[in-house]
Structure 1
């Protein structure tokens, strides 16, 4: 069964989502757990404590947050599994629509990507 990673990106420092969104997400995720498609996920804190390791020209450099140049950050993630890509995309749209309904003043980019099973058979 194909697995997917879903994540949401938004501007850094937009504040805490409204309680109504938390409640709607609890119900939505509970339903996804019951259907067996939600495997794991959660929200992420801001970049103030983030650590990046940048590899450039064979050298590794540590860069600690916050990142003034960041326009948007990943705010949450999920590992999901669906029978088809079409089913996964439909569910991701429903997830995005919850944000539009309960937090319309914030721009959120909801992304879905299929998880590869290896270099010889991505997507199998």
Structure 2
């Protein structure tokens, strides 16, 4: 059964989402966990304590947060499992619609990517 990773990206420093979004997400995730779709996930703190290791030209450099140049940050993640890609896409749209309904003043990007189990391309 294909697995997917969902990401939620948003502008950093826009404040906490409204309680209604937390409540809607609890119900949404609870239903998917009971159905065996939601495997794991959670929210992420801001970049103030983040650490990036950048590899460039054969060298590794460390960059500690916060990052003034960041316009968007990953605010949450999930590991999901669906029977089909179509099911995954449809459910990710429902997830995005919860954000539109409960936090319309925020710009949120909900991304879905299939998890690779090896070097093959999706669908192989």
TM above 0.5, one fold? Answer: yes
2:90 is aligned to: 90
Q: Which blocks of at least 5 consecutive residues in structure 1 are unaligned?
A: none
What does residue 121 of structure 2 align with? Answer: 122
TM-score (norm 2): 0.97
Task: For structure 2, list consecutive stretches of 5 or more residues without a partner in the other structure.
Answer: none
Residue matched to 1:109: 109
Structure 2 residue 25 is the aligned partner of structure 1 residue 8 = no
**SS class of match (1:100):** helix
- Structure 1: 4+ residue segments shifted above 2 A: 121-124
Q: Secondary structure of the residue that 1:110 maps to in structure 2?
A: strand
Deviations 1:51-96 (A, max 9, x none): 0000000000000000000000000000000010000000000000
> Is residue 44 of structure 2 the alignment partner of residue 44 of structure 1?
yes
Give the number of aligned pairs: 123
Q: Structure 1-normalised TM-score?
A: 0.97
Give RMSD over aligned pairs. 0.7
